[in-house]
Homo-oligomer: A and B are copies of this chain.
Amino acid sequence: MVDNTFINSLLSRHRPAISRAISIIEAGGDEANDLLNRTHGETGTAYRIGIAGPPGAGKSSITNKLVKIFRQQNKSVGVIAVDPSSPFSQGAILGDRVRMIDVCDDDGVFIRSMATRGSLGGLSYKTSDAADILDVAGFDYIILETVGIGQSELDIAQAADTTVVVLVPESGDTVQMMKAGLMEIADLFVLNKYDRPESESAFGAIKSMLTNSYRNQDKWTPEVIKSIAIREEGINDIAESIDKHRQFLLADNSLYQKRNERLLNRVMELVKIMIMSELWNEHRTIKLNNAISDVVNEKKLPADLAQDIIESYLQDIRKSKS
């Protein structure tokens, strides 16, 4: 379905080809699967960095400045801003990208936002697939940044080798941070906007949480980096801490493990999608929609309707030749 010329353009990091490839991933379906199959052999070399944190923490600024640092090191960078949300968000993405315009004229940088809402295959799948595309295109670093709420933080952590959690002193209150559920996905904390009044106590709170949490001594303990991204303060420290984590993962064989786990999830997701798209054919979708009123009116149990539908699927399989 996708032709060789296109694959070759992608491999030679031709910008329109990358764009088109991400759009194919975004749309999903057979063409996306074909593209991923055709390029699977070219993945596995890029380093994947996830940037998560609450809205307003400065994730975009930090991404922007990290891109600059990697470029100064003569490394190429692909950025995917994952937006799990809505029509309302289009403005937000534009807003972010406006701030990023100072790196946009550079061939070693590719920046793209990607909407993943309502995708059949789930978000994590697509975030990881988009990273694969940038990997195929030969970028040294891939930055996956979430611009919304929703499943995306966990997906980004799953798709990334190093996950950076960006916080601001307001979110420094210990209970609130724990609430945010961001603690366990972080390989590295950035306390941004460090010129704010509550910064010292927020820093102390994060540090003491890390000390008190039941971490294995052999495992990586997240560093806490202070930054003021808009003044470019602390960004080198972030880049160094990412590299330190990368060296740790390499020494430890965890990088291979992470890739293993990503591909395991990918296969399980594919199994689910392939079976469900077979099962939910027109016939059974109509059956569901017709029978649901009986469930709503309590004449039938949800589990019994589910069983009916599964039975019809199994009959179809038995009837088909092996």
Contact = CB atoms under 8 A, between A and B. Distances in A.
Interface string A236-273: 00000000000000000000100110011011101110
Interface in A14-53: 33, 36-37, 40-41, 43-44
Contacts of A298: 40-41, 43-44
A83 B184 CA distance: 14
B37 A301 contact: yes
A46 to B, nearest CB: 15
A148 interface: yes
A182 B150 CA distance: 9
A154 interface: yes
A184 B85 contact: yes
Contact of A302 (B170, B175, B266, B304): B266
A207 to B, nearest CB: 15
Interface string A91-120: 110010000000000000000000000000
Given A88-B213, A318-B322, A310 B275 contact: yes
A171 B171 CA distance: 12
Interface in A264-318: 264, 266-268, 270-272, 274-276, 279-280, 288-289, 292-293, 295-296, 298, 301-307, 309-310, 313-315, 317-318
A186 to B, nearest CB: 10
Interface SS of chain A: helix
Interface string A152-190: 011000000000000000110111111111111000000
Interface string A188-221: 0000000000000000000001000110000000
A89 interface: yes
Contacts of A213: 88
B171 A306 contact: no
A12 interface: no
A292 B264 contact: yes
Interface string A62-106: 000000000000000000000111111101100100000000000
27 contacts: A33-B303, A37-B302, A40-B295, A40-B298, A55-B177, A56-B170, A83-B181, A85-B181, A86-B183, A86-B184, A91-B178, A92-B176, A147-B179, A149-B181, A150-B154, A260-B293, A263-B302, A264-B292, A266-B302, A267-B288, A271-B279, A271-B306, A274-B307, A274-B310, A275-B275, A314-B317, A318-B318
Interface of A: 33, 36-37, 40-41, 43-44, 54-56, 83-89, 91-92, 95, 147-151, 153-154, 170-171, 173-184, 209, 213-214, 256, 259-260, 263-264, 266-268, 270-272, 274-276, 279-280, 288-289, 292-293, 295-296, 298, 301-307, 309-310, 313-315, 317-318, 322
Task: Name the 4 nearest CB pairs between A and B, nearest first.
Answer: A85-B181, A270-B306, A148-B181, A88-B183
